[in-house]
A and B are shown apart, each in its own frame.
Chain A
Amino acid sequence: MNVADLTLQADVAHWSWTIAIFLWFVGIAGMGSVAYYFSRKAPLAITILVSLIVGLLFVVSHLTRWWNLPITIFYAIMEFSFNFQSWMFWGFAILSVHLVLSAIVVVANIPFLQRFWFLRWAAVLNKSNLFLGLFAFAGFGSTVYSGFLLSTAAGVPLWNTALIPVLWVISASVATVALIELFYVLGWTDEREAAFGLRLGMGLDVMKLLAVLAFIHISLTVGTMGAQIGAARMFSGDLALMTWVGVIGIGILLPLAIGGLSLLIGKKKPLLIVSSVAALAGVLFLRAVVLLAGVWEPLVI
């Protein structure tokens, strides 16, 4: 293959680690909000809000004209130039709603803030299944958005697959389960949730492995040349180490092995810490490797 104009997306569009970290935090906050519907623990609520804020700080820091954001929003409102076809526009909308709902949930979970009468409505909302359902839906929407953001970037053929939003939802769920296991180690959640999380996490790890391999396989076999080159970089090229060691070894197989061991000999907190940190790192590596592997379709072959 003599590809003359192979250009890495990360070199021109600059979507690399900053965006990977943004997508990682959005995933944690997103599927964390779904978990909150069932768990309703304060540490999870705070983690969701902090993840969203830090994630947004990362993405804003990536904007080459971040200082223009207020003016842009002003003109966009005045001229109603919002682009409803753009997943990034929907991302702004979904993340804004998600951020507000997260702040309400955190207010409801901090006893000090509940002393103020004008904030007590947050606690009322926090007991409403409808409100928490909306919160979970916003979280799921944030995660799905972060996948479609890549899928619709037509210049990078590796990303132009509906598998990415699916992969993002599965891997963000893995990250959320890993967080719940860490909370168990820290004594912030109970044995019942941790035991459920262990089994759920193992199932999700298997699904994630399948989805990662399917993503690489489909891109390698039936993708356009740009998709094939990107997938080849992940499979056996300069990014293979990150794929096989970071995403699959550390991010999937190690937590699976520790999970299996825990089922046999019982949960050991040091092992759970290793497993959870590895799973969280693997989710970040997955986002990074998919971003970094992106190349443009060669115009000349």
Chain B
Amino acid sequence: MRLRRGQEPTRRLAHVWNEANCTACGACIIACTATNAPEMMHRKEKGWNSLASNIRRIESQNAQGRPTMMLSQCQHCEDAPCVHTCPFGAVHYTTDGLVDIDERLCIGCSYCVAACPYNVRWMHPETGLPNKCMGSACLELVAANQQPACVQACPANARDFGDLNDPASSVSQTLRRLPNRVLLETAGTKPKYFIVESSS
């Protein structure tokens, strides 16, 4: 449900990715596309040169030359640039603390795509919508008190999703217990995608 001006979200739903547990199998990426945009299963997002998915896999090398990998996705920022820039209010916060899009109000200007510092939106070639996490199918799962597709698909338990306002939620406990970071913290967007740095 759309968050009205001056209203506080009832929940602060957030994603957690444990990079130490992740085996880079790609199951979350496939599950995301298969659940939210199955028509894109065999098509690439040309700009990223990878499967059109709401989860983006970024590969690199560390200083020692060892391969590294990171998963990025919509951070559901609490001060989201995409919400600030959308001219007709299509991109909005929900009462669950997520960033969502109202298709009726979207004209496909791509301003939200250019405004996202995390480069996690992609333009759907058929609907013209700027896709991102969470897709409509995952939102339905969450509404039915289930976990999003990526969390369900992860074989290594490297993904979690839950309410930061609930101290008993698994995400709150994990973030209290383990060192973690957010991406581009200095951008001031207050992201809610947490990367757990180690299991120890």
Contacts and interface: CB of A to CB of B under 8 A. Distances in A.
Given A7-B47, A7-B119, A88 B85 contact: yes
Interface stretch (A63-71, A102-110, A179-187): A63-71
Contacts of A2: 60-61
A86 B117 contact: no
7 contacts: A7-B47, A12-B123, A13-B114, A72-B105, A83-B87, A155-B117, A299-B70
Nearest to A153: B114
Given A154-B81, A154-B117, A82 B89 contact: yes
Interface string A266-277: 000000000000
A296 interface: yes
What are the 9 tightest A-B residue pairs by CB atom distance, in nearest-first order?
A64-B128, A64-B108, A4-B60, A81-B89, A12-B47, A65-B108, A11-B47, A154-B81, A89-B87
A156 interface: yes
Contact of B108 (A68, A152, A299): A68
A153 B189 CA distance: 13
A5 B89 CA distance: 30
Nearest to B61: A2
Given A65-B128, A86-B86, A299 B58 contact: yes
Given A4-B60, A89-B87, A81 B110 contact: no
A73 B107 CA distance: 10
A8 B48 CA distance: 9
A54 B189 CA distance: 36
Contacts of A65: 106-108, 127-129
Contacts of A63: 107-109, 128
Contacts of A14: 110, 123
Interface string B66-108: 0010101000000001011111111010000000001011111
Contacts of B84: 83, 85-86, 152
A5 B119 contact: yes
